[in-house]
Amino acid sequence: MTQSTALKPHPVIVPPHPQWPVLSSDEKSAMKARIKTLLKQRNAVLVAHYYTSGDLQELAEETGGCVSDSLEMARFGTEQSAETLVVCGVRFMGETAKILNPEKQVLMPDLNATCSLDEGCPAEEFTRFCDQHPDHTVVVYANTSAKVKARADWVVTSGIALPIIKHLAERGEKIIWAPDKHLGRYVQKQTGADMLFWNGSCVVHEEFKSVALERIRRLHPDAAVLVHPESPEEVIAQADVVGSTTALIKAVTDMDNQTFIVATDGGIFHKMKQLAPGKKLIEAPTAGEGATCESCAHCPWMGMNALQNLEQVLLTGNNEIHIDPEIREQAVKSIQKMLDFSSSQKK
Ligand code: SF4
């Protein structure tokens, strides 16, 4: 049974896309070389998300760092001997790295790089909501603050949400799900779990348009449609593959189709092109009739990461993530449950 709430979405201010000065190829190479030296001097490693720029992804790979989804980013940090983790992504990713690695220094190019899901789920309001439903297990998406994770019983990422909710549903548990309502509905539909939803959404995925997508599919009848489950239900309904960033990248390499229509942040195209250079990739439509495109398939907060501020942060050591020890102690339990569950699935 699904329960819905009459919760109003918490207002979120979406920043404009950052405009970074364009670097010549010589300037870019020189900057990358300086960053590589600074990484060595600081005994630091880069942990980057698929939605960051191609330059940052390349640099992370060239220097022994990682480029991945938020689940793997969290795991990667725990396996490093480096003293400093530099997280290129959004704030909750830096916080998760710090929660799991309290002895390490965690730096980020810009601490204002947040996420509409995190912003739309303030800890105090969320705690009140949970307190009203004490018989529910609280499951929160990784895209939340440390305080919200501390209130949760479980943290999940899009890569592991389905098996964890299925597991809880089989145990007969009633679930509070936060913050992404689209991912929550998708998971509920797949598992039949009894779920109560927080009313949050991702500004990037929410803008994919189902009618315009139908039109593009008609123009490319042989294309496979790949959709991230933070997208609206009508967009998910048209997908050949629904999954995390890692699952969508895998689909491009594994499927025989030569053309793909992709409904997630455009940053993912860098890795897809790298792994499947001959395939045609089309951005799913965000604009179209009546659309007010704020993100246009590019997350403005992810865009706050660039070579320029990465170099600055390595020079200065500014933008360090700190977590209140009591909050950390609670939050680590719900994150660790997810990591342990994920490891048990791989055996
Ligand atoms: S793409 Fe969406 S979910 Fe990801 S960080 Fe940006 S706003 Fe958050």
Residue-range domains of the chain with CATH = 1-202+299-347 (3.40.50.10800), 205-283 (3.40.50.10800)
How many angstroms is it from 320 CA to the middle of ligand 1? 21
pLDDT tens for the chain, 347 residues long, are 455 555 889 999 999 989 999 999 999 999 999 999 999 999 999 999 999 999 999 999 999 999 999 888 988 999 999 999 999 999 999 999 999 999 999 999 999 999 999 999 999 999 999 999 999 999 999 999 999 999 999 999 988 999 999 999 999 999 999 999 999 999 999 999 999 999 999 998 888 888 889 999 999 999 999 999 999 999 999 999 999 999 999 999 999 999 999 999 999 999 999 999 999 999 998 865 444 444 468 899 999 999 999 999 999 999 999 999 999 999 999 999 999 999 898 77
The residue whose CA is least distant from atom 1 of ligand 1 is 299
Dihedral pair phi/psi, residue 320, rounded to 5°: -85, 140
Q: Which of 108, 158, 204, 206 to mutate to test the pocket of ligand 1 (most atoms within 8 A of CB)?
A: 204
Dihedral pair phi/psi, residue 245, rounded to 5°: -55, -40
How many angstroms is it from 204 CA to the middle of ligand 1? 6
Task: State whether the beta carbon of 268 lies less than 6 angstroms from ligand 1.
Answer: no
Residue 171: exposed, middle, or buried by beta-carbon count in 10 A (0-12, 13-18, 19+)?
exposed
Residue 108 and residue 84 in contact, taking contact as beta carbons nearer than 8 Å: no
Q: Which of 70, 143, 148 to mutate to test the pocket of ligand 1 (most atoms within 8 A of CB)?
A: 143
Q: Which residues have C-beta within 8 Å of that of residue 224, sequence separation ≥ 6? A: 240, 241, 251, 255, 257, 259, 260, 261
How many angstroms is it from 115 CA to the middle of ligand 1? 5
Task: State whether the beta carbon of 264 lies less than 6 angstroms from ligand 1.
Answer: no
Q: Which residues have C-beta within 8 Å of that of residue 44, sequence separation ≥ 6? A: 38, 82, 83, 84, 85, 86, 107, 314
Task: Tally Cβ neighbours within 10 Å of residue 290.
Answer: 7
How many angstroms is it from 203 CA to the middle of ligand 1? 7
The residue whose CA is least distant from atom 3 of ligand 1 is 202
Element containing residue 172 per DSSP (H, E): none
Residue 31 and residue 23 in contact, taking contact as beta carbons nearer than 8 Å: yes
Q: How far apart are CA 162 and CA 85, in angstroms?
A: 29
Q: 3-class DSSP state for residue 8?
A: coil
Q: Which residues have C-beta within 8 Å of that of residue 316, sequence separation ≥ 6? A: none
Q: Which two tokens stand for residue 51?
A: 């939605």
Element containing residue 137 per DSSP (H, E): strand 136-141
Q: 3-class DSSP state for residue 156?
A: strand
